[in-house]
Chain A
């Protein structure tokens, strides 16, 4: 970790919707190779965090840096970042193959290159004959999500950003996804994963950032006690206690 370079920096980020502060992050950093899990209740600010990182939202103040460069002013982060937040990342009138080809082409990959790049993830895709010929909009929520995640996985060179990747997936797919994430993490890919599934996120991530009411409440390396501590936090969240 000592040789790792700074990949992401949130500097005095503030995002409000009217009077309500959705996110306020005075300082947060992530180094290359880290796998960070973002956890928090609904409306805590996790998705806002990811949207700011992907330049899908404009902060009221502060800036997000990717390898030292502002994600707003220098779009080079898109070259090496794979992301999937929700269905708006899918082009639903394409078939699975067409969508993957399209995503690949935007990264300069030809059809054959796409087939090679996606090959390690084929066990995660809905590959039945019926599904492969269907338009994405006709797939189930879970299967459509698999397509989006797979597209993010195969183009991510430096950073992978996923929002609730385990939600809506059947158990075998959750296990396969976890295996893929662990393998990619072993290869040095940096990841930022938001999830409500505390078990999966603590299995995959080496660091956990807990967000609540738009602020970072806790940010620490995963340990043996992390899962228990998070469960304890969420079970007492209503009373506002932080154990």
Chain B
């Protein structure tokens, strides 16, 4: 695979390295490898990393970078070189430490407000939608939007649907679909994804030793539970 990275500024204290505008496991693996490399080879002033589907954005403090930036024309030019190094120093196939999570989901009644309409739109039985949603192991491509909101993919094209035109309030634990992505709302929030179920798992707990349950690169598999199992979980 030959990728030509695009490195560009995101204002005067952030920069992105993008490997293409698409949802792709190998690109995402490379993004994770670069993030890992930067966390073991941080430069002075590197504050934060935001891995996404096919890009890695870093936040830096130009004041702290300045003393090490030497004769670069701008701080960004020097940071750009660091991202190019991270790209050059990493291998796409070296992924470590991914965890497998089995996630219970109740696909019934009020837990699944948008499931009947989705089934109708896709001309499938509700049970077929559930089968398709639970038949794959998904990758956590990225975490964003809300604390702990995981973008999982990719789902079967037969159950892929667009977002709602207007966001509505969504309960914590809601499992949604948007395009070929599926995801879980960790907190109550306005959201535009089609909600097909809900998990009793707590995905975000601010005072736990690691507040967010999933990490980028983890594997997730859903399994159906009944409303009673949900209540008793």
Q: Do A and B bind?
A: no
Interface residues of B (CB under 8 A from A): none
